[in-house]
Structure 1
Amino acid sequence: MTLKDHKKHASLVRPQTGNFGRNEWAIVGAPCVNIKLLANDVIQALSTEYKCAYVDASHNDEVVSLPGRLAAGACLEYVDQQNYHQFSYTSVSPFDIKQQFLAADAVFVNGNHHQANAQVVVIHPNKMASLQKRVDQLTNVQLILLAEGVDDVFEFIKEALPNWQAIPTYSLNNTEAIIAFFKTQLTANKPALKGLVLAGGKSLRMGQDKGALKWHGAEQRLHIADMLAEFCSEVCISCRAEQKAGINTSYNLLEDTFTDLGPYGAILSAFRHDPNSAWLVVACDLPLLDRQSLQHLTINRDASAFATAFKNEEQGFPEPLITIWEPKSYPRLLAWLAQGYSCPRKVLINSDIKLIQPLDEIALTNVNTPEEMKEIISHLEGSKIQP
């Protein structure tokens, strides 16, 4: 192997995030008080549907003393306040900061102090000089706002943004239009939905490959994949390396890259394949699952949650193996694995998810043993269910 053949880093698909989150806007060109007021109005309007976050900096000109036990030498202090939780650090890296914004759907940034992937430019006479100094930071301007008494864009902005006339431009006081703009952006940026059929288990209790059972005339893993195709932009069948030769090659096969972790590893493998899409994960041992149940799940999807799952009425817990896992759940799953946990249900129970009632509880019945298989065969023959 020559030096040119050597790769320093593994070839990984990186999540589409900015400095703080997937959807982030730096508001620049206005006094800080105006930026705070604008962010407050937008966040208040969006927070019923989306998880919003805000980024700013201290405006104290003097050196601020370390709070609490940080002054005594602690590197971290956590305070459980009555209405909120507060973490204080002595130091934090950009990677650490990004971890704190995993749940956020929209991050609004005071652009006078921090940068973001997208920008909102305010044309304000009092900040003209400050904005001119930051003109190189205007790499993805998506909205222009005119302060009160302003009816045109600065000339240097026109020069820096040749397409400035195509950028939506509103009055800074037109809060309704500004909120509508962000709602449109967040709707357009909703992660695509892909499907994953969990078929990589060893089926030890069944004694034969559960994914190859033909409940409805075709192998169950293919039957599930065909149903998912109606709701998903792409469908993959999760499998072990040794299974690939026995599965129809006209289907997308996704080999587990997180091995010996069961379904948990399959879900992580899917996110490793595409960390920017949501994954509708369905186990292959659900012979009574029907189109109506999948439609009910997708219609009620909450992309702002970590996941959308059915509630198991008998246990009261979420069903992890017929669940829509959002992209924001990927780093959370990895973090749980780092703490020694590999139970997807435990992650769901301890996360902010949307839990919905199934249309028919029997559709979520899974089959793991020959005895359970006989019962399902009798049920199918008796009811003549059409999937």
Structure 2
Amino acid sequence: MTTLILIGGKSQRMGRDKATIERPDGILQIDWLARLAKLTGGEVFLSMRDDSAPPVDLPVVTDEVAGGGPLAALAAIHARKPDGPVLVLGCDLFLLDETTVTHLLSHRDPNRSATCFANRIDGRPEPLCAIYEVSGISQAAEALGRGDHCARRFLESLDPLVLELPHAAALDNANTPQELAECFAKLQHGVMPKIMHVLYFAKLRESRGLDEEQVETLACTPAGLYEELRFRHRLPLEIGSLRAARNGDFCTWDDLISDGDEIVFIPPVAGG
């Protein structure tokens, strides 16, 4: 089985190359993913959007469709390696571990077009830690030709085998500095369910349709909690436009939260 590590994103929201970020254990993210990729026993490739120098000594597959995202990467690796399945790993998966990859490999169904995990919040298939069989990955170029660049929608169209995650937070990704701090907090402090008392104001209250609620979360920081809620309820505001308070005091987005805390997310004042 071939493994394709996706490092072709521009990392604009992160502000730096995610592949070369140093993890809390001192290992670069790309080196960690390359180590996990070797669990397949097959070749490992990097997917890049151009011919710039790769951050690690692995063969490169370059996207042939500019702006095609993960589907362009799938089409490119299928053109390079058309006769076998491909394990795809996203570069932003800082919590991905050996247990999760091994579980995916051992539960693969080669008679389905793909095998993947369910997102822990909305239950939909996760496309960037998934095995694509030839029957599935061969359809990527056709989807691109139709102008459909959505990796999740493409995966859903393949009717994949969808597995439950052995570690619930393993596919929590990081595309911003706040999300990275949340992932690092999970790596350093563990992942434990917490019950939080959340208060909403102004535009968030209007969007959520309530003033407050008790929520169960795996988050370690206010940023992680807000991103969970934003994803689950499609909240309209980006984290950069908000402030957070913990138990009555303003806090930073990377402060640690505890079971039973009261967290308030404060939007900007209208007209201010």
* Normalised TM-score (structure 1): 0.47
Q: Distance in 2 between matches of 1:375 and 1:352?
A: 32
Paired residues for 1:84-99 under 5 Å: none
Aligned to 2:29: 220
Aligned to 2:15: 207
Aligned to 1:142: none
Residues 287/335 of structure 1: CA separation in 2 closer, same or farther (3 Å cut): same
Q: Secondary structure at the match of 2:71?
A: helix
Q: Are 2:101 and 1:294 aligned? A: yes
User: Identity of aligned pairs, percent?
Assistant: 32
Q: Are 2:88 and 1:260 aligned? A: no
Q: Secondary structure at the match of 2:68?
A: coil
Aligned to 1:336: 143
Aligned to 1:35: none
Aligned to 2:116: 309
Structure 1 stretches lacking a partner, 5+ long: 1-192
Aligned to 1:320: 127
Q: Distance in 1 between matches of 2:162 and 2:104?
A: 10
Aligned to 1:41: none
Residues 247/266 of structure 1: CA separation in 2 closer, same or farther (3 Å cut): same
Counterpart residue identity of residue 214, structure 1 = E
Q: Distance in 2 between matches of 1:199 and 1:341?
A: 20
Paired residues for 1:45-84 under 5 Å: none
Task: Verify the 8 A CA contact 2:71 2:141 in the aligned structure 1.
Answer: no
Structure 2 stretches lacking a partner, 5+ long: 192-272
Task: Verify the 8 A CA contact 1:336 1:342 in the aligned structure 2.
Answer: yes
Task: Verify the 8 A CA contact 2:51 2:62 in the aligned structure 1.
Answer: no
CA deviations over 1:128-177 (Å, ceiling 9, x no partner):
xxxxxxxxxxxxxxxxxxxxxxxxxxxxxxxxxxxxxxxxxxxxxxxxxx
Pick from 359, 370, 373 the counterpart of residue 166 of structure 2.
Answer: 359
Q: Distance in 1 between matches of 2:117 and 2:36?
A: 18
Pick from 282, 285, 298 the counterpart of residue 92 of structure 2.
Answer: 285
Cα drift, residue 331 of structure 1: 3.1
Q: Distance in 1 between matches of 2:19 and 2:87?
A: 17
Task: Verify the 8 A CA contact 2:68 2:144 in the aligned structure 1.
Answer: no
Aligned to 2:6: 198
Aligned to 2:56: 248
Aligned to 1:171: none
Paired residues for 1:26-41 under 5 Å: none
Q: Are 2:38 and 1:229 aligned? A: yes
CA deviations over 1:223-278 (Å, ceiling 9, x no partner):
1011111214111111233532x5223x2222222322111111111111111111
Paired residues for 1:369-380 under 5 Å: 369-380=176-187
Q: Distance in 2 between matches of 1:338 and 1:257?
A: 12
Aligned to 1:176: none
Task: Verify the 8 A CA contact 2:30 2:56 in the aligned structure 1.
Answer: no
Q: Secondary structure at the match of 1:352?
A: coil
Q: Distance in 1 between matches of 2:156 and 2:112?
A: 13
* Normalised TM-score (structure 2): 0.66
RMSD of aligned residue pairs (Cα, Å):
1.7
Counterpart residue identity of residue 301, structure 1 = R
Paired residues for 1:15-26 under 5 Å: none
Residues 306/312 of structure 1: CA separation in 2 closer, same or farther (3 Å cut): same
Compare CA radii of gyration and give the structure with the larger one.
1
